[in-house]
Chain A
Amino acid sequence: MAESGRYFKLQVIAPDRVFLEEEADMVELTTTEGEIGVLKDHIPLTAIVAPGILRIKKDGQQKEAALHEGFLEILPDKVVILAESCEWPEEIDINRANEAKIRAERRLKGADAEINEARAELALRKSLVRLALAEKQHK
């Protein structure tokens, strides 16, 4: 590990693969309590991930990914994100995300008592994150 001072180790682990394992100097993401940015020597913290964009910064370079569900553990020299699903902008299927968005919106509008509102809302937020990221990529 580099002892250069401002880098920390970042691991993003998904159930089916190790999504990312590298060094970064800053990472930004959304938790259930709001957006947070993490630098090296952050206090130890465990938080729950909310759907949002994950930004990884290193030497002025920035990488983005869509991060949906999971939780993260922050240690002074290491950040581990356990993501249930996480994808790079180029992996996002815009059509599918669009469909999911419309479906979720319909469910939320519908007066059907059967549907689980919290789940539909989560699905909507996920699809919005995907779309936002994918659109950025195509510009």
Chain B
Amino acid sequence: MASMRDIKRRKESIQSTGQITKAMKLVSTVKLQKAKSRAENSLPYFNYMYQTVSSMLKKSSTLSHPYLNAGSSPKKAIIVITSNRGLAGGYNSNVIKLVTGSEIAKEDAVIYAVGRKGRDALARRGYTVAADYSEVMNEPMFGDAVDIGREVLKAFASGEIGEIYIAYTVFKNTVVHIPTFLKLLPVELGEQNQEDGADADLTLMNYEPAAEEALNHIIPKYINSLIYGALVQALASENGARMQAMDAATSNADEMISDLSLLYNRARQSSITQELTEIIAGANAIG
């Protein structure tokens, strides 16, 4: 059995770790509330954007527009959104696994990293990191999404890259976060959200300027809103994941402390018993 002093030292160290994880949990809870409301506030904008773009594309299915076709380059841009800090459970590694597990070959991938953890992990695995926007993750703003969007669209327009993807974590609710790999360009819209009534409206819709030119303006805005949505959702997910991880760590620490307390008390008792036995034996010998 370990000595009393060893057990005590161990217990104290776990206690202070527990205090840290508890504090971190509280901090991420507060941050989560803030990030969550931001993610929710961005939803109406994003939803309406999606509706408009999908109805426009539906109408102009005959159009051939550069944004609707893959570029000739085999290179594929991936915007990878992770956190700047660790201790968030599997949050970062899940996103990284999405990238490494995708069918995009390492040589063809061009990484636009948002978040230090993802940048470092992918750079270590030999991916090309074209740009780093890690600072953004501290406080994502719409302007940041516009900056990232401008860069990737520029690379797309100049033919450096043929397709654009984004890897991030969808914030479903406080406990459910889904790592997601999404294609941004060429635009592909799910058909399931189309209502039947939409067709009737479409025939009446006019565009000013003409549809082709309007697409030119609206698609970049659509991409920007997708990136912004991904940023705020990733931030909420990060804090949610950290909160859960720290909660688990705190309860593990509590469990270990109660186990160690038991051991400590047992060791204390046995040392007292031993001392008593020695004293009694000594007294008997004298008497």
Contact B45 A82 (CB under 8 A): yes
Contact B218 A13 (CB under 8 A): no
Q: Which residue of B lies closest to A73 (CB)?
A: B52
Contact A15 B208 (CB under 8 A): no
Report the separation of the CA atoms of residues A16 and B171 in the bound assembly, to the nearest whole angstrom. 16
Interface residues on B, range: 20 to 34
Contact A71 B221 (CB under 8 A): yes
Residues 57 to 90 of chain A near chain B (Cβ within 8 Å): 69-71, 73, 75, 80, 82, 84-85
Q: Interface on chain A toward B: helix, strand, loop, or mixed SS?
A: strand
- Residues on A with C-beta less than 8 A from B221 are 69-71, 82, 84
Tell me the A residues contacting B by CB distance below 8 Å: 13-18, 31-33, 43-48, 69-71, 73, 75, 80, 82, 84-85
Contact A44 B48 (CB under 8 A): no
- Residues on A with C-beta less than 8 A from B285 are none
- Residues on A with C-beta less than 8 A from B48 are 13, 80, 82
Q: Is B82 an interface residue (CB 8 A)?
A: no
- Residues on A with C-beta less than 8 A from B206 are 43-46
Q: Which residue of B lies closest to A75 (CB)?
A: B201
Contact status of A17 and B205, CB under 8 A, knowing A71-B217, A73-B52, A80-B48? no
Residues 197 to 233 of chain B near chain A (Cβ within 8 Å): 201, 204-209, 214, 217-218, 221, 224-225, 228
- Residues on B with C-beta less than 8 A from A46 are 52, 56, 205-208, 214
- Interface 1/0 per residue, B141-168 and A, CB below 8 Å: 0100110000000000000000000000
